[in-house]
Amino acid sequence: MRKSGIIPFLINAAIFIILEIAALNMLRSNGELQNIWISKGSHVFMGSVWGSTQQIKDYFSLGRTNDELARENHELRMRLARFEQKEADERESSYSVSGNVAGEYRYIPAEIVKISTGSSHNYFIIDKGSVDGIIEGAGVITGKGVVGVIDAVSRNVSYARSFQNFDMSISARLGKEGSAGPMSWSGKGGSKAILKEVPHHVEFHQGDTVYTSGYSSIFPPDIPLGTAGEAKIVNGATYEIDITLFEDFGALRYVTVVENTGQEEIKSLENR
C-alpha cells in the first residue's frame, strides 16, 4: 500500500469499527432477544479466553505435578517395601529361622539429568550423590521395571549403567513362581529384551508377566519388568523368550535408587 493511501485506509477502518460498536449498542437496547444473543456471544468469547489461559497455566504446572507424583510414587514404593519386609519377617519367624532371606532395602528418589539411549552402551546421570547416601553397585528402578546400576558416585551426582547396555544382565522370572534366567537388552529398540536359559519343559504363555527373581543381591524380588512374547529353543535344551519391557526409556526421568543393606554380607559369603 502506498504511503499516500495509509491515512484514508486508517480513517475508513476507524469509522467501520465505530459503526459496528454503535450497531451492537442499538441491537442491545432495541430488544431482549438481541440482548440475550449479544450476552451469550460475549460469554462464549470470555469462556474461550479463560479456557486458553487455563491450559497455559496447566502446561506450566506440569513440572510441579510430576515432582509431586514422583514423591508419591517413592513413598508408596517404600510403604510396599516395608509391608513386604514385615511379611517376610513373619514368615521366617513362623519357621523358627533367624534373619531375612529377602534382605533389607533402602530407597532414594532421584531425577535423571542426562541420558544416553542411542548406543550399545547407554548410561544416565542422576542428581543424587554420596551426600545423599548413593553408593556404587546400587540398583536403579522405577514403578515399571529395572533401569540400571550405579557405576560411579561423586558428591552430588551419580553415573549409572543403563539396562540398555550389552554389558548388563539381570535375573528375571516367568511369573512369580515360574522358572528364572538371565535377561538382557536385545538391542532391537528401547523396549525389547531377551530372557535366556529357561528350561524347554517349562510351560508359559505369551503375555505372561516377567518379574525380578530375587536371586540378585542388587534388586528386590517381584518388580514387574515386561511381558513374554515369542520363544525359540536353543541347542535343543532351553528357551530364549522375547520380552516387551514396561519401561519406556525414551521418556525416563524420575527413578528410585535401591540399596540392599545386606549386600556386603552376601558378598563376603560368596567370596569365601
Q: Is the per-residue pLDDT at 83 higher than 70?
A: no
Task: For residue range 104-120, list pLDDT tens digits in order.
Answer: 788 999 999 999 988 88
Q: Which residue has the higher pLDDT, 3 or 74?
A: 74
Tell me what the mean pLDDT of segment 28-38 comes to.
Answer: 53
Q: Count Cβ atoms below 10 Å from residue 26 Cβ, excluding itself.
A: 11
pLDDT tens sequence across 160-172: 999 999 989 999 9
Whole-structure pTM value: 0.65
125 phi and psi, to 5 degrees?
Answer: -120, 135
Phi, psi angle pair for 87, to nearest 5°: -65, -40
More confident residue, 269 or 73: 73
Q: State residue 95's pLDDT score.
A: 31
- Whether residue 101 has pLDDT greater than 50: no
**% of the chain beyond a pLDDT of 70:** 60
Q: Is the pLDDT of residue 98 over 50?
A: no
Q: Give the C-alpha separation, 196 to 169, whole Å.
A: 10
Q: Taking CA 157 as the corner, what is the angle to CA 150 and CA 64, rounded to the nearest 5 degrees?
A: 105
What confidence score (pLDDT) does residue 236 get? 81
CATH code 2.40.10.340 region(s) in the chain: 106-270
Nearest to 66 by CA among 58, 54, 78, 77: 58
User: Does the pLDDT value for residue 57 go beyond 70?
Assistant: no
The per-residue pLDDT for range 129-172, each reduced to its tens digit, is: 999 999 999 999 998 899 999 999 999 999 999 999 998 999 99
Q: At residue 127, does pLDDT exceed 70?
A: yes
- pLDDT score of 187: 87
Average pLDDT, the chain: 76
Q: State the SS3 of the chain.
A: CCHHHHHHHHHHHHHHHHHHHHHHHHHHHHCHHHHHHHHHHHHHHHHHHHHHHHHHHHHHCHHHHHHHHHHHHHHHHHHHHHHHHHHHHHHHHHCCCCCCCCCCEEEEEEEEEEECCCCCEEEEEECCCHHHCCCCCCEEEECCEEEEEEEEECCCCEEEEEEEECCCEEEEEECCCCCEEEEEECCCCCCEEEEEEEECCCCCCCCCEEEECCCCCCCCCCCEEEEEEEEEEECCCEEEEEEEECCCHHHCCEEEEEEECCHHHHHHHHCC
Q: Rounded distance, CA 229 to CA 244, Å?
A: 7
49 or 212, which is more confident: 212
Q: How high is the pLDDT of residue 190? A: 74
pLDDT value for 70 = 61
The residue type at 14? A
Question: Which has more confidence, 247 or 94?
Answer: 247
106-270 homologous superfamily:
Rod shape-determining protein MreC, domain 1 (2.40.10.340)
Phi and psi torsions of 85, nearest 5°: -65, -45
